[in-house]
Amino acid sequence: MLTRVSCFVLPLVFVVTGCSEPEKLRPREDAATEMRDSAGTADAPQVDAPGRGGSGAGGQPDTSDAAVAGSGGGGPGGGAGARADAGPDTSLAMDMRAAIETGPGPVKDGDRCQKASDCANGFCVDGICCASACTGSCQQCNAPGMLGKCIPVGSGQPAPTGRTACAQQPASTCGTTGVCDGAGQCQRHPSGTSCQPANCTGSTATGEGRCDGKGMCVVPTGAACAPYKCDTAGKTCASSCATDNDCTGAPCVSQRCGKVPAGNACARPEDCASGFCSPDGVCCDKACTEQCEACDLQGAKGTCKVLPAGQTPRGSRLGCMGQGTCAGACSGMSTQCVYPTSSTQCGDKACSGTTIMSYLCDGNGMCRADAAQCQNGYCSNLMCAPTKPNGTLCATNLECSSGTCGGRCCANTCLCRQPTAENLAINPGFDVDVSGWDVITTGAIQRSQSDSEGCPYSGSAAVIAPGPSNNEITQCVPVDQSRTYNFGGRLLGSDGNGQNGMVGHWNVYCGPWWYGSLSDCKSRKAPISSAPVQWIYNGPANTWVAYSTENVAVPPNATHARFGCVLSNSETTSVTVSFDQLYLAVSPSKY
């Protein structure tokens, strides 16, 4: 059973002014419960120290002017204590209730989510935080290697689960085929698809209707069969006759009616007075066989004309190649199909590891994927970025020169035990040195080979407090009033003589001390608040002990925090305590 020694300590001077009798520490769960139940009702001592340990409940009444909070008990199970205050319903109690009730904050693009409010930009698509709403039937935000990016579903694939399915409509409608077109839209029946059978009534034949690739069924204007009538099947004009009754305005000669003038239906050049039967099935003034020509345009039947812009080839002529953005079409000026140039974008640019993917038309109707490889770098924000050195924040192995990322780039997986990007602490793991941390006694901090997880490549910071004296390992970091924070770390203590067993007459207390400016923090002026402070009491020698406190609210007017731990030694001999994995992170992040 651990014991607790309650002491009153002046902030950052750390002179022990009085101690109470030891008392048994309660489990963290009980302490946390009592803290919530009594945060608004218990009185607490008012002292000048950053805080004192406890089971998480409020302190004893005091009449001094500087009220601060107690903090959690020693060891990994300690909870945060209630702020000492003169009244029963203090701002700290309300802060503590808010901290307990605060849920996880929004996450970045590419992370998993369940609802829009989980994501920083409010778009939760396909279970992933997405860069945009990405609501189209043929769009997706969870493609492997491109999480968080809204890209088209592949051509011929169905709409993803959860989206409105592409309707599978019959060819007669020229509508959608039930699958995606690869450019983010539902695929339509392609140009040239038969949508209405040819028919013939009386002496007027109407050719087969064909889809234009844009959802419309284009039916040729009916053409007169003269000098013939419709065949007995009623689908096209007759091409022979037996009697004059089989002809219109012409006699039946040798099983043929007389030649017909331009603009009339024909089956072969011999049927036409001009000698030209166009691919439209109409006698024409010339052959009229080019892709973007027609001899059956309204008001110009029998005369070969260039098709209007945007239309596709008719009849038996060779159609324009391609589909979607890159598809060819008639321009209204040329007799051949015209295609979008190679500078036309047919898909969104995207990053794929060390490659920048661009999608451009090839000038022949196809969408071409161009892959630009980043040399000695990786793709970031659609540009090549240089790889990062060890110690730099990272998200994937590709970002690191070493090829290894564990929150930060590192030389090997053991050194990858780094905090997330939300950790405000500089050099929290002491894997290389102890830079970035302040101490009271110059030279009284050094890097130790001992590591809290036994990693042979990592280490920790050893802080020395000659007896009797105080020392610290802290640093000033900016904080955001709108966020809540978690703080914690691990420590290992010796009794100064290198002996095993329980250590006595020294303790450690940790936490953020809040300041209104960076200069006040750097100069260690009186803090705005020092609550909550997590106390670590007399831990067993040569044993790593974890501590943490979660969902700490920033007090009003605070812009910076001095974060870290203080070692108070009342022994006559020197005491060394090693620290590792220290963090002050935006909730819910930890080390």
CATH number of the domain at 72, please. 2.60.120.260
Give 85-149 as a DSSP string.
Answer: -SSSS-HHHHHHHHHHH-----B-TTSB-SSGGGBTTS-EETTEE-SS---STTEES--TT-TT-
Within-domain flag for 237: no
Within-domain flag for 167: no
pLDDT of 261: 87
φ, ψ for residue 211, nearest 5 deg: -65, 145
Q: What is the pLDDT of residues 197-223, one digit of tens each?
A: 989 988 888 889 999 999 999 998 888
pLDDT of 21: 40
Residue 531 belongs to domain spanning: 3-85+420-586
Q: What is the pLDDT of residues 511-554, one digit of tens each?
A: 899 999 999 999 989 999 987 777 775 556 777 888 888 899 99
Within-domain flag for 437: yes
The percentage of the chain sitting over the pLDDT mark of 90, rounded to a whole number, equals: 31
Within-domain flag for 282: no
Residue 368 forms beta bridges with which residues? 360
For 53-67, 173-187, 513-527, 561-575, which range has the lowest pLDDT when averaged over its residues? 53-67
Beta-sheet pairing, 194-196 with 209-211: antiparallel
Amino acid at 559: T
The total number of structural domains in the chain stands at 1
Within-domain flag for 71: yes
- Three-state secondary structure string covering 13-54: CCCEEEECCCEECCCHHHHHHHHHHHCCCCCCCCCCCCCCEC
N-terminal to C-terminal alpha carbon distance within the chain: 28
Within-domain flag for 434: yes
Within-domain flag for 267: no
Within-domain flag for 335: no
pLDDT of 392: 75
Neighbours of 286 (CB within 10 A): 14
- The whole-angstrom separation of Cα 205 and Cα 426 is 84
- The whole-angstrom separation of Cα 359 and Cα 346 is 5
Residue 510 forms beta bridges with which residues? 534, 565
- Model's pTM, two decimal places? 0.33
